[in-house]
Structure 1
Amino acid sequence: MKTKLIRYGVLTTLTVLAGGAFAQDAVQSAVPGGWLDGVVAGLSEWLQRAGEDELSAMGMFMAADWVVKAVMISLAFASVLTWLIFVAKTADLFWQRARLKRGFRRMDAHGTLTGVTAVFSNSKGVVGRMVHAALRERDRSAAAGLGKAGIKERVSSELGRIEAGAARSMMSGTGVLANIGSTAPFVGLFGTVWGIMNSFISISESNTTNLAVVAPGIAEALLATAIGLVAAIPAVIFYNLIARGLGGYKVMLADVSALVERTLSRDLDLAEQAPNVAAVQTVPELAEAAE
């Protein structure tokens, strides 16, 4: 999951860059004056001025040591990855919960596994896999002449594995949020400690404790801690939100599994009563024929 998200982020960045270049050519050809070049030039000039200002965020980043820069870049990437995982998992969770609701309602409306087979003919989704697993075990056991008690037990075991697999698949990627939320502040603290060490080294080399000399180094060091908190706080909040949503998703999985078991039990009881009903109906007909 992590590799897929990183690959998606890289592809998205390349697509945006390619689309930006194409849009720039299109705008320049359609709009006279090349106003987009002016916007790009203004942005470049702003970045240059921000880099020259030692007390701005960009200036502190440009003046920082290479270790502190690596820490800041890694924390910025972790922050982007946090938002990407949150958006992807939230959309996937809403989609899967909607599919579970639709499948639950359709199966409950039909009342039998045989009648709902056409609805889940492609066996896609959790509900479809559960229905086809129950039908497959029922047919295999019926062909071998096994009892319905064993059928229910084996179907319950199979549904439990499908339910656990669906929950585990939905939880993939949440561990990245937990790792970022727990380690990002310490990574930022490492950058802060390294930056303060450099500040003390500069104090010893300049033989002065003037605040104007020490303040920029300490400020750029503290910026690493700030970026670490920016990455860690959303990661913790998003992890808690996704964990709460996953709890509701697991409850819905359990409800679907219970509905499949109830429907299978009903089908087995109806199939067992059908021969008895047919026998009871044929007895009066034989009696009338004998008379």
Structure 2
Amino acid sequence: MMKLEGISTFVAVAEAGSITEAARRLRLSKSIVSERLAELERQIGAVLLHRTTRRLSLTEDGAAFLERAARITRDVEEAAADMAERRGMLCGPLRISAPVTFGRMHLGPALFPFLLAHPDIELFLDLDDRRIDVASNSYDAVIRHGPIADSRLMTWRLASSQRVLVASPAYLEKHGTPDTIEALYRHKGIFYANRGAADWSFPTNGGAATIRAPVGLRVNNGDTMRDAGIAGIGIALLPSFVAGEAIKAGQLRVIDIGANVAAEFIYIAHPEGRMPSAKLRALADHLRKAFGSPAYWDC
């Protein structure tokens, strides 16, 4: 009979990409991790991992086994957490993905008091600007900004989010300040690469007005977009949670073209059909209070 510790160790190694890193995360010696893997392979009768001096990779059998092994490990962890929650405790692992800039500027500071209040929660926070598949990547939830494209997700709204057109005072003095939607065509744009096309869209009475300005920079990170705007590269359409401090400091100016972009929000989403844990619901409630309504970065 396969032992749960062997299955969970295999999942840890596959996710970490190395025995050394998995041993560190599990707080075990490398020899114990290796022994558990060898025993699991003997029980299954298949080689799960290719091991070389330079790298470790899944075999075809290993890739097939990993999906179910990860599900088994997660189910056992959630079952243990559920039992604790029945006794009024919030504990166990919680895996969250969030954007880099928002995570650094706002999510991290909001999370720390929550973790101090619930020290038995083991939070894994992955800051990544890519749009990830929550279910296939074994996350409990994702925190994102903007529209929700994946209909398989159940979403809870956390906070409002305004987006504003901004540029540096030096850029506007040199190139002029646009005051209409059409005037944007004459300016370089700084665009967020993960949104797809390099354009801006503004709701009007006649429908959406889409502007594709000349590209000054396309990048997949909000910090770099803000810094490029401060440097005078062009005009950027930024969430207020990214641009707010630079606007207050006079490094960026808000541009009024007589039209606003569609409203967006910060949301947390979990896979449809998976019951959200008590600790995930508690986290969402905590973040709503921490961000405020309206959000403190929009005040």
| TM score, norm. by length of structure 2 | 0.21
- Structure with greater strand percent: 2
Flag the structure with larger Rg. 1
Larger RCO (CA under 8 A, 6+ residues apart) = 1
Between structures 1 and 2, the one with greater helix share: 1
TM-score by structure 1 length? 0.21
